[in-house]
Amino acid sequence: MSAQVYLLTGYLGSGKTTLLQKLLTHLQQQDDKVVVLMNEMGEEDIDGEQLQGFGFPVKKLLDGCICCSIQGELTEGLKEILQSLAPNRILIETTGVADPIDVVDALTHPELYDRLQLSGIVSVVDASRFLELNSRFASTSTLVKTIRNQVKYADLLLLNKIDLTTPEVIQKVEQKLKELNPLAPIHQAIQSDMNLESLLSVERLVKSYTKDSDPEKMVPVQKTIGRLSPMDKLKQSLGLRTSKPSLYNSIDSFSYQFTGPVHAEKFEDFLYALPKSVYRAKGYVLFHGKQELISFQHTDNQVHLFPFENFGPKMVAVFIGEGMDQEKILNDLKDCYA
Protein backbone atom coordinates (compact mmCIF):
# COMPACT_ATOMS: atom_id res chain seq x y z
CA MET A 1 0.00 0.00 0.00
CA SER A 2 1.37 3.43 -0.95
CA ALA A 3 2.06 6.07 1.68
CA GLN A 4 0.09 9.28 1.22
CA VAL A 5 2.36 12.32 0.87
CA TYR A 6 1.24 15.86 1.67
CA LEU A 7 3.56 18.61 0.53
CA LEU A 8 3.38 21.89 2.47
CA THR A 9 4.93 24.74 0.55
CA GLY A 10 4.87 28.54 0.62
CA TYR A 11 7.29 31.43 0.92
CA LEU A 12 9.36 32.21 4.04
CA GLY A 13 7.24 33.13 7.05
CA SER A 14 3.88 32.36 5.47
CA GLY A 15 2.77 30.03 8.28
CA LYS A 16 3.69 26.52 7.12
CA THR A 17 5.02 25.31 10.47
CA THR A 18 1.97 26.66 12.31
CA LEU A 19 -0.26 24.75 9.89
CA LEU A 20 1.84 21.63 10.37
CA GLN A 21 1.53 21.86 14.17
CA LYS A 22 -2.26 22.09 13.93
CA LEU A 23 -2.35 19.21 11.48
CA LEU A 24 -0.29 17.01 13.80
CA THR A 25 -2.59 17.85 16.73
CA HIS A 26 -5.52 16.76 14.56
CA LEU A 27 -3.79 13.55 13.47
CA GLN A 28 -3.07 12.58 17.09
CA GLN A 29 -6.76 11.69 17.35
CA GLN A 30 -6.53 9.26 14.44
CA ASP A 31 -4.93 5.85 14.29
CA ASP A 32 -2.44 6.72 11.56
CA LYS A 33 1.28 6.09 11.28
CA VAL A 34 2.57 9.56 10.43
CA VAL A 35 6.11 10.72 9.68
CA VAL A 36 7.13 14.36 9.33
CA LEU A 37 9.98 15.38 7.04
CA MET A 38 11.22 18.95 7.47
CA ASN A 39 13.74 20.85 5.41
CA GLU A 40 15.73 23.78 6.86
CA MET A 41 18.12 25.83 4.73
CA GLY A 42 20.62 26.51 7.51
CA GLU A 43 22.78 24.21 9.57
CA GLU A 44 20.59 24.79 12.64
CA ASP A 45 17.14 23.28 13.06
CA ILE A 46 14.66 25.81 14.46
CA ASP A 47 11.16 24.87 13.34
CA GLY A 48 11.72 21.16 13.93
CA GLU A 49 12.14 21.72 17.66
CA GLN A 50 8.54 22.94 17.85
CA LEU A 51 7.27 19.61 16.51
CA GLN A 52 8.67 17.51 19.34
CA GLY A 53 6.04 16.15 21.69
CA PHE A 54 3.38 15.29 19.12
CA GLY A 55 4.37 11.64 19.22
CA PHE A 56 5.31 11.36 15.55
CA PRO A 57 8.77 10.68 14.11
CA VAL A 58 10.38 13.83 12.67
CA LYS A 59 13.16 13.56 10.09
CA LYS A 60 15.14 16.72 9.36
CA LEU A 61 17.11 17.64 6.26
CA LEU A 62 19.39 20.58 7.08
CA ASP A 63 21.76 22.94 5.28
CA GLY A 64 20.23 22.86 1.84
CA CYS A 65 17.02 22.97 -0.14
CA ILE A 66 15.34 19.71 -1.12
CA CYS A 67 14.39 21.24 -4.47
CA CYS A 68 18.01 21.36 -5.59
CA SER A 69 21.18 21.10 -3.48
CA ILE A 70 20.05 18.16 -1.31
CA GLN A 71 17.34 16.74 -3.54
CA GLY A 72 19.13 13.40 -3.51
CA GLU A 73 18.99 13.38 0.30
CA LEU A 74 15.20 13.72 0.10
CA THR A 75 15.02 10.65 -2.09
CA GLU A 76 17.30 8.66 0.22
CA GLY A 77 15.45 9.93 3.30
CA LEU A 78 12.11 8.82 1.90
CA LYS A 79 13.49 5.38 1.07
CA GLU A 80 14.74 5.05 4.65
CA ILE A 81 11.40 6.23 6.10
CA LEU A 82 9.43 3.74 4.01
CA GLN A 83 11.70 0.86 4.92
CA SER A 84 12.07 1.48 8.65
CA LEU A 85 8.79 3.16 9.64
CA ALA A 86 6.24 2.10 6.99
CA PRO A 87 3.98 5.14 7.53
CA ASN A 88 0.47 5.70 6.16
CA ARG A 89 1.09 9.43 5.76
CA ILE A 90 4.22 11.50 5.18
CA LEU A 91 4.04 15.25 5.74
CA ILE A 92 6.79 17.21 4.01
CA GLU A 93 7.41 20.85 4.90
CA THR A 94 9.73 22.48 2.39
CA THR A 95 11.90 25.53 2.84
CA GLY A 96 10.27 28.81 1.88
CA VAL A 97 12.37 28.96 -1.29
CA ALA A 98 11.61 25.51 -2.66
CA ASP A 99 10.02 25.13 -6.06
CA PRO A 100 7.33 22.41 -5.75
CA ILE A 101 8.07 21.14 -9.26
CA ASP A 102 11.58 20.12 -8.24
CA VAL A 103 10.34 18.53 -5.01
CA VAL A 104 7.80 16.49 -6.95
CA ASP A 105 10.67 15.52 -9.23
CA ALA A 106 12.38 13.90 -6.24
CA LEU A 107 9.16 12.19 -5.13
CA THR A 108 8.81 10.51 -8.52
CA HIS A 109 12.12 8.69 -8.33
CA PRO A 110 11.81 5.25 -9.95
CA GLU A 111 12.53 3.48 -6.65
CA LEU A 112 9.73 5.41 -4.93
CA TYR A 113 7.16 5.70 -7.69
CA ASP A 114 4.95 2.78 -6.63
CA ARG A 115 5.46 3.32 -2.89
CA LEU A 116 4.35 6.95 -2.61
CA GLN A 117 1.12 8.67 -3.55
CA LEU A 118 1.23 12.46 -3.68
CA SER A 119 -2.13 13.29 -2.16
CA GLY A 120 -1.78 17.02 -2.58
CA ILE A 121 0.34 20.15 -2.63
CA VAL A 122 -0.83 22.73 -0.11
CA SER A 123 0.59 26.22 -0.55
CA VAL A 124 0.40 28.75 2.30
CA VAL A 125 0.23 32.36 1.07
CA ASP A 126 0.83 35.38 3.32
CA ALA A 127 -2.01 37.71 2.35
CA SER A 128 -0.23 40.72 3.84
CA ARG A 129 2.94 40.29 1.78
CA PHE A 130 2.09 38.50 -1.45
CA LEU A 131 1.51 41.56 -3.63
CA GLU A 132 4.67 43.25 -2.33
CA LEU A 133 6.77 40.15 -2.92
CA ASN A 134 5.46 39.87 -6.44
CA SER A 135 6.52 43.42 -7.29
CA ARG A 136 9.42 43.96 -4.91
CA PHE A 137 11.42 41.15 -6.45
CA ALA A 138 10.38 41.80 -10.02
CA SER A 139 14.05 42.01 -11.02
CA THR A 140 14.83 38.63 -9.44
CA SER A 141 13.24 36.34 -11.98
CA THR A 142 14.10 33.11 -10.15
CA LEU A 143 12.38 34.23 -6.95
CA VAL A 144 9.30 35.48 -8.77
CA LYS A 145 9.08 32.20 -10.67
CA THR A 146 9.39 30.20 -7.44
CA ILE A 147 6.70 32.19 -5.61
CA ARG A 148 4.37 31.85 -8.57
CA ASN A 149 5.06 28.14 -8.96
CA GLN A 150 4.22 27.62 -5.28
CA VAL A 151 0.77 28.97 -6.16
CA LYS A 152 0.47 27.65 -9.70
CA TYR A 153 1.09 23.99 -8.86
CA ALA A 154 -0.87 23.89 -5.59
CA ASP A 155 -3.92 21.70 -5.16
CA LEU A 156 -5.13 23.83 -2.25
CA LEU A 157 -4.27 27.43 -1.37
CA LEU A 158 -4.34 28.65 2.22
CA LEU A 159 -4.58 32.44 2.17
CA ASN A 160 -3.13 33.11 5.61
CA LYS A 161 -2.69 36.21 7.82
CA ILE A 162 -5.81 37.91 6.50
CA ASP A 163 -6.01 39.79 9.82
CA LEU A 164 -2.83 41.68 8.92
CA THR A 165 -4.20 43.43 5.85
CA THR A 166 -7.35 45.02 4.42
CA PRO A 167 -10.32 43.47 2.59
CA GLU A 168 -9.26 45.37 -0.53
CA VAL A 169 -5.80 43.80 -0.48
CA ILE A 170 -7.25 40.35 0.21
CA GLN A 171 -9.49 40.74 -2.84
CA LYS A 172 -6.52 41.72 -5.02
CA VAL A 173 -4.47 38.79 -3.73
CA GLU A 174 -7.30 36.34 -4.40
CA GLN A 175 -7.66 37.71 -7.91
CA LYS A 176 -3.95 37.17 -8.56
CA LEU A 177 -4.06 33.68 -7.08
CA LYS A 178 -6.97 32.75 -9.35
CA GLU A 179 -5.07 34.10 -12.34
CA LEU A 180 -2.11 31.87 -11.49
CA ASN A 181 -4.20 28.87 -10.45
CA PRO A 182 -7.91 28.99 -11.39
CA LEU A 183 -8.56 25.42 -10.19
CA ALA A 184 -7.24 25.27 -6.62
CA PRO A 185 -9.74 26.06 -3.82
CA ILE A 186 -8.74 29.05 -1.66
CA HIS A 187 -9.22 28.92 2.12
CA GLN A 188 -8.84 32.17 4.04
CA ALA A 189 -7.19 31.83 7.46
CA ILE A 190 -5.77 33.53 10.51
CA GLN A 191 -2.76 31.78 12.09
CA SER A 192 -3.14 28.92 9.57
CA ASP A 193 -6.48 27.87 11.09
CA MET A 194 -8.54 25.87 8.61
CA ASN A 195 -10.73 22.77 8.33
CA LEU A 196 -8.04 20.11 8.48
CA GLU A 197 -10.27 17.39 7.04
CA SER A 198 -10.47 19.54 3.91
CA LEU A 199 -6.68 19.52 3.80
CA LEU A 200 -6.43 15.76 4.31
CA SER A 201 -9.04 15.13 1.61
CA VAL A 202 -7.31 17.40 -0.90
CA GLU A 203 -7.27 15.98 -4.41
CA ARG A 204 -4.60 16.35 -7.04
CA LEU A 205 -5.59 18.74 -9.80
CA VAL A 206 -3.18 17.02 -12.19
CA LYS A 207 -3.80 13.29 -12.13
CA SER A 208 -2.61 12.14 -15.53
CA TYR A 209 -0.25 13.34 -18.18
CA THR A 210 -1.71 12.82 -21.65
CA LYS A 211 -0.80 14.35 -24.98
CA ASP A 212 -3.76 16.71 -24.53
CA SER A 213 -2.62 17.91 -21.11
CA ASP A 214 -1.85 21.58 -20.67
CA PRO A 215 1.98 21.70 -20.53
CA GLU A 216 1.75 24.59 -18.06
CA LYS A 217 0.03 22.27 -15.55
CA MET A 218 2.16 19.21 -16.10
CA VAL A 219 4.57 18.13 -13.38
CA PRO A 220 7.65 16.47 -14.85
CA VAL A 221 8.62 12.97 -13.78
CA GLN A 222 12.07 12.16 -12.47
CA LYS A 223 14.76 12.67 -15.08
CA THR A 224 17.83 12.36 -12.86
CA ILE A 225 18.71 10.97 -9.46
CA GLY A 226 18.52 14.49 -8.10
CA ARG A 227 22.06 15.03 -6.91
CA LEU A 228 24.26 17.65 -8.52
CA SER A 229 26.45 16.41 -11.33
CA PRO A 230 30.24 16.28 -10.68
CA MET A 231 30.67 19.37 -12.87
CA ASP A 232 27.93 21.25 -10.99
CA LYS A 233 29.51 20.25 -7.66
CA LEU A 234 32.84 21.62 -8.88
CA LYS A 235 31.18 24.86 -10.02
CA GLN A 236 29.40 25.16 -6.67
CA SER A 237 32.66 24.67 -4.74
CA LEU A 238 34.20 27.51 -6.76
CA GLY A 239 31.24 29.78 -6.11
CA LEU A 240 30.04 29.57 -9.72
CA ARG A 241 26.44 29.17 -10.86
CA THR A 242 25.43 25.59 -11.64
CA SER A 243 23.73 24.57 -14.86
CA LYS A 244 20.38 24.26 -13.09
CA PRO A 245 19.36 27.71 -11.82
CA SER A 246 17.45 27.67 -8.56
CA LEU A 247 16.46 30.19 -5.95
CA TYR A 248 18.65 28.45 -3.39
CA ASN A 249 21.71 29.42 -5.39
CA SER A 250 21.01 33.09 -4.67
CA ILE A 251 19.80 32.85 -1.08
CA ASP A 252 22.19 32.51 1.83
CA SER A 253 21.79 31.61 5.48
CA PHE A 254 23.96 31.81 8.59
CA SER A 255 23.50 31.17 12.29
CA TYR A 256 24.72 32.67 15.55
CA GLN A 257 25.06 30.94 18.92
CA PHE A 258 24.10 33.18 21.84
CA THR A 259 26.64 33.23 24.68
CA GLY A 260 24.13 34.36 27.30
CA PRO A 261 20.91 36.32 27.89
CA VAL A 262 20.24 39.53 25.97
CA HIS A 263 18.33 42.73 26.70
CA ALA A 264 14.68 42.18 25.65
CA GLU A 265 13.94 45.67 24.28
CA LYS A 266 17.25 45.94 22.46
CA PHE A 267 16.74 42.55 20.86
CA GLU A 268 13.22 43.41 19.72
CA ASP A 269 14.50 46.70 18.26
CA PHE A 270 17.26 44.73 16.54
CA LEU A 271 14.70 42.47 14.84
CA TYR A 272 12.58 45.37 13.64
CA ALA A 273 15.70 47.12 12.30
CA LEU A 274 16.91 44.17 10.22
CA PRO A 275 17.49 45.20 6.59
CA LYS A 276 15.27 44.12 3.72
CA SER A 277 18.03 41.76 2.60
CA VAL A 278 17.06 39.51 5.55
CA TYR A 279 13.99 37.61 4.42
CA ARG A 280 13.62 35.58 7.61
CA ALA A 281 15.14 35.42 11.10
CA LYS A 282 14.18 32.85 13.70
CA GLY A 283 15.53 31.04 16.71
CA TYR A 284 15.59 30.81 20.49
CA VAL A 285 16.89 33.43 22.91
CA LEU A 286 16.98 34.08 26.65
CA PHE A 287 16.16 37.53 28.03
CA HIS A 288 17.76 39.07 31.12
CA GLY A 289 15.70 38.31 34.22
CA LYS A 290 13.62 35.60 32.52
CA GLN A 291 13.80 31.86 33.05
CA GLU A 292 11.85 30.62 30.06
CA LEU A 293 13.36 30.44 26.60
CA ILE A 294 11.84 32.78 24.00
CA SER A 295 11.07 31.60 20.47
CA PHE A 296 11.29 34.44 17.96
CA GLN A 297 10.23 34.78 14.34
CA HIS A 298 10.90 37.73 12.02
CA THR A 299 9.57 38.23 8.50
CA ASP A 300 9.96 41.66 6.94
CA ASN A 301 8.32 43.99 9.48
CA GLN A 302 6.52 41.21 11.36
CA VAL A 303 8.08 40.14 14.67
CA HIS A 304 6.66 37.43 16.92
CA LEU A 305 8.04 36.57 20.37
CA PHE A 306 6.55 33.91 22.61
CA PRO A 307 7.70 31.74 25.55
CA PHE A 308 8.91 28.27 24.69
CA GLU A 309 8.58 25.90 27.63
CA ASN A 310 10.91 23.24 26.30
CA PHE A 311 14.41 24.36 27.24
CA GLY A 312 15.97 21.68 25.08
CA PRO A 313 16.86 23.81 22.04
CA LYS A 314 20.10 25.71 22.17
CA MET A 315 20.05 29.50 22.11
CA VAL A 316 20.61 30.28 18.44
CA ALA A 317 19.57 32.74 15.76
CA VAL A 318 19.25 31.81 12.09
CA PHE A 319 19.13 34.38 9.28
CA ILE A 320 17.96 33.69 5.72
CA GLY A 321 18.30 36.27 2.99
CA GLU A 322 20.07 37.51 -0.10
CA GLY A 323 23.11 39.79 -0.17
CA MET A 324 23.17 40.04 3.62
CA ASP A 325 25.91 42.00 5.41
CA GLN A 326 26.66 39.23 7.89
CA GLU A 327 29.32 41.17 9.80
CA LYS A 328 27.05 44.17 10.42
CA ILE A 329 24.10 42.00 11.41
CA LEU A 330 26.21 40.09 13.93
CA ASN A 331 27.74 43.28 15.34
CA ASP A 332 24.27 44.76 15.82
CA LEU A 333 23.13 41.53 17.44
CA LYS A 334 26.06 41.50 19.88
CA ASP A 335 25.08 45.03 21.00
CA CYS A 336 21.95 43.43 22.51
CA TYR A 337 24.08 41.92 25.29
CA ALA A 338 24.85 45.36 26.77
Average pLDDT over every residue of 292-317 = 81
Q: Which own/partner pairs from 200-209 qualify as long-range (CB within 8 Å, at least 24 positions apart)?
A: 200/6, 200/23, 200/119, 202/6, 202/119, 202/120, 202/122, 202/155, 202/156, 203/119, 203/120, 203/155, 204/118, 204/119, 204/120, 204/155, 205/155, 206/153
pLDDT recorded at residue 50: 63
What is the predicted pLDDT for the residue at 45? Answer: 53
Please give the Cα distance from 189 to 187 (Å, whole number).
6
The residue that leads in pLDDT, 244 or 300, is 300
Range from 16-25, 68-77, 183-192 carrying the lowest mean pLDDT? 68-77
What mean pLDDT do residues 211-237 have? 42
pLDDT for 6-49, tens place per residue? 999 999 889 999 999 999 999 998 888 999 988 765 555 555 56
End-to-end CA distance of the chain: 58
pTM over 0.85: no
∠ Cα 148 149 154 (to 5°): 110
| Section 146-153 average pLDDT | 89
CA distance 198 to 214: 26
pLDDT of residue 74: 78
Amino acid 327: pLDDT: 94
pLDDT of residue 208: 34
* pLDDT top residue among 40 and 56: 56
Confidence of residue 206 (pLDDT cuts 50, 70, 90): low
State phi, psi for 11 to the nearest 5 degrees: -70, 165
Average pLDDT, rounded, for the chain: 79
Going along the chain from its start, the domains and CATH numbers come out as: 3-217 (3.40.50.300), 251-337 (3.30.1220.10)
> Which residues, other chains included, contact 39 with Cβ-Cβ below 8 Å and sequence gap of 6+?
60, 61, 62, 64, 65, 66, 70, 74, 92, 93, 94, 95, 98
Contact 63, 43 (CB under 8 A): yes
Q: Which amino acid is at 185?
A: P
pLDDT at 272: 94
Report the C-alpha gap between 214 and 236 in whole angstroms. 34
Which of 103-107, 232-236, 258-262, 312-316 is least confident?
Answer: 232-236
**At 217, is the pLDDT very low, low, confident or very high (cuts 50, 70, 90)?**
very low
Whether 126 and 161 have beta carbons less than 8 Å apart is answered as yes
As a whole-number percent, the residues of the chain with pLDDT over 90 amount to 41
